[in-house]
Structure formats: structure tokens, C-alpha cells
Amino acid sequence: MVDHPSSDAEAAHAEVELSTVRLQEVAEAAGVSTITVSRCINNPARVSEKTREHVLKIANRMGYIPNRLASSLASARSMVIGVVVPTIANPIHGMVLQGAADILEPAGYQVLLGNSHFSKQSEFELVRTFLGHRVDGILLTGRDHLEECLDLLARSRTPMVEMFDYNPEPSDMAVGSSNFDAGASLGQYLIARGRRQFAYVGHTGLDDSRMIARLQGLIKVCEAAGLAPPRHYEISSDPGTGTGGEVVGTILRDVPEIDAVVFAGHQVAVGAIRYSVDVGIAVPQRLAIAGFGDSPIAKWITPSLTTVRFPVRENGIEAGKLMLWRLQGKQCKQRSIRLGFEILGRDSA
């Protein structure tokens, strides 16, 4: 082994070294300028086929991995999209995220993840962090955000999509089903089947406007039908764990006239069915139980859960598409996409 300063020949063998090969080293090894190497990777059309092949072969052999930090800094495009979900432990949001990632990743974008834990304040801080990373776009869950957060977003001119709730006048873009309408439809369904006295069970401490919108829809149809407004209960269990169904016991003890309980989610509704069966509350004869959101368990529990199905994955997909359109300058399409929902009338109500 001769001990000489690094030469082109050596550089070409650097594949066994650290993957800290720089653009410049590739350029030297290939006998071209740095910008040519850059173009071979980002703008192949603007380089002759011959040089391109030559350069790419060398880059490959050297194990060159472009430094996207430097690239993003210089070009002001990070190819990263920040996504804020309340939690990924809940499969619903996992699927939204999956939908968005399935659109964005093939387009060359990476997803930077943030969990708001259902807190608008945390959401705001995540947005700040994302802007620090100079993300090219941001996906938020729901339509209810801190004003400062929307302000910041607007001033930074970062494209933003609100997912999972219909919003006809989004601050930027939005996609989702109307949770108000979903609540109203479910209420109508129950009323049509003879229910007269409702309870609604939400979750304490969660900044989740969707759950509130569902209740408001329910309230509206109660009013319209001349019924008493639903009694509002809140439980502190984490939605998604499926615990907290025992609340139906409390409800019936409080207000025995109640003949229908609507849960803000579906997991807890299933838990409530299970609890009711265990303690001998006849579902649906004595008590109707319904929820929002669907899953295999909702279908397979006995009695099966009457619930509202939302096109979950589509939310992420459409949000991703909206974002891509904007990023590619095609601002032609609508800014707000309304998705539907479906009342799944099963055995529990």
C-alpha cells in the first residue's frame, strides 16, 4: 500500500468509507464541476446523456448520498411535509396518516410527524417546529386551531390542509366529512326508530371540534323533533382504549328515561355494549347504543354497533393530493373537498 494523498482513483474507491461523500468529491472524481453533478441528480434533462451516465455511475460507486439539508437550505425547498395528528395510537388517525403518506412519499416528499395529544397549544408548537424545519407544507387534523397558529401559518405562506372535518371556508385548504351532518343524520336515524331521550358521551380535556360538531348536529335534530336536548356526559378515558363503557350504568341511574346513548367514538361504544351485556342491560330493547367511526370490532361484537362510517383513508389521500397540487402550482382545483359518510344501521340501535 502506497501512502499518498487522496487522488481521483482513491476517491472512486471511497465506498468503504463513511457515507460523507460530498458533491464536490464526486465532481472531482468525475472530472466535472459540482453543478454538473447536481444537475445530473436534480435536473437530468439539462445534462448530456453521456456525462450524466458517467457521473451517476461514479456517484453510485462512491456511495454518494446527497445532503438534503444543504440542498434544502440552498433551494428553499425541503421536500418535507409536516403532519399533525392528535395521536397515532388511534387507528383512525393512523389510517389518515397512512393515506397521506401513500400519496406524498411516491412524490418524493417525506413526512415529519407530530402528535398534538388533542391539545391546540401543542399543535401550535408543532407548527412552529415544523416551520423551523422549513417544511414545504403542513397537514393538520380538524378545523379548530389557535388563532396564533393560523396567523403564523398564513404569514409563513406555508400551504396547509385541514383534514378530517368539512370546512367550506378553510383558511387555506380542507378535506373531510361534515361531522355536524353526521351527528344530525345519526340522530334522525335513532329518532325514526323510536328513540326519544338521548345521552351523548364525549371525552374531557380533548380539543376536538369534531366531537363537538357531532353533538351539535344531534342537538339540532332533537330540537327539530321537539325532543329534549341530549344529556351531555364526559368521560376521561383515552378514546381508542375502549374503556369507559361503564358510563352507561351511571347514565341509566341518573336518568332512567334515557333510551339511547350516542358515543363520540366507536371503541368506547363497543365497550359500552360489552358492559351492558355483562350487567344485563338489554341492547337495543332497553337502550340503544350508537357511535361514530367503524372497525371490525364494531361489526363483530354482539349486538353489532350501529355507527357512522367515515372514509378515513380517503381523508389522508385527498389531503395529500390537495397539497401536491398546490406544491406543483396547479391551483385550479377547489380548496375544500367534502367527503361523505354512511349510517351503518346494525343491531345495537
Partner DNA sequence: CTGTTAGCGCATTCAC
Partner DNA sequence: GTGAATGCGCTAACAG
Q: Binding mask 14-43 vs its own copies (x if CB under 8 A, - otherwise)?
A: --xxxxx-----------------------
Using the structure block, give the residue that is written with the C-alpha cell 403532519.
83
Q: Which does 344 bind (CB under 5 to 8 A by kind): DNA, its own copies, none?
A: none
Q: Stretches 46-54, 217-225, 257-265, 330-338: which one binds DNA (CB under 7 A)?
A: 46-54
Residues in binding contact with its own copies, number by CB under 8 A: 58
Interaction between residue 87 and its own copies (CB under 8 A): yes
- Which three-class secondary structure string do you get for 42-101? HCHHHCCHHHHHHHHHHHHHCCCCCCHHHHHHHHCCCCEEEEEECCCCCHHHHHHHHHHH
Place of cell 393538520: 140
80-85 vs 336-339, strand pairing mode:
unpaired
Q: Does 42 bind DNA (CB under 7 A)?
A: yes
Nearest residue to 309 (alpha-carbon basis) of 208, 141, 189: 189
Task: Pick the binder of its own copies from 24, 43, 60, 67 (CB under 8 A).
Answer: 67
CB of 34 to its own copies, least distance (A): 16
CB 307 within 8 A of CB 268: no
Restricted to residues 119-158, the positions that interact with DNA (CB under 7 A) are none
Nearer to DNA, 50 or 155 (CB): 50
User: Of these, 11, 14, 23, 264, which contacts DNA (CB under 7 A)?
Assistant: 23
Q: Is 110 in the site for DNA (CB under 7 A)?
A: no
Site for its own copies in 288-307 (CB under 8 A): 295-297, 300-302
b/e for 320-344, b at 16 or more Cβ within 10 A? bbbbbebbeeeeeeebbbebebebb
- Is residue 282 close enough to count as binding its own copies by CB under 8 A? no
What minimum distance in Å lies between the beta carbon of 148 and DNA?
20
Residue among 129 and 336 whose Cβ is closer to DNA = 129
**Least separation, in Å, of the C-beta of 28 and DNA?**
11
Q: Which ranges in the chain belong to alpha helices (H)? A: 8-11, 23-30, 34-42, 49-61, 68-75, 91-104, 120-132, 147-156, 179-192, 209-224, 247-254, 267-279, 296-300, 312-327
Amino acid at residue number 276: S
> Which spans of this chain sit near DNA (rule: CB under 7 A)?
20, 22-24, 32-36, 38-39, 41-42, 46-48, 50-52, 64, 66-67, 70-71, 73-75, 77
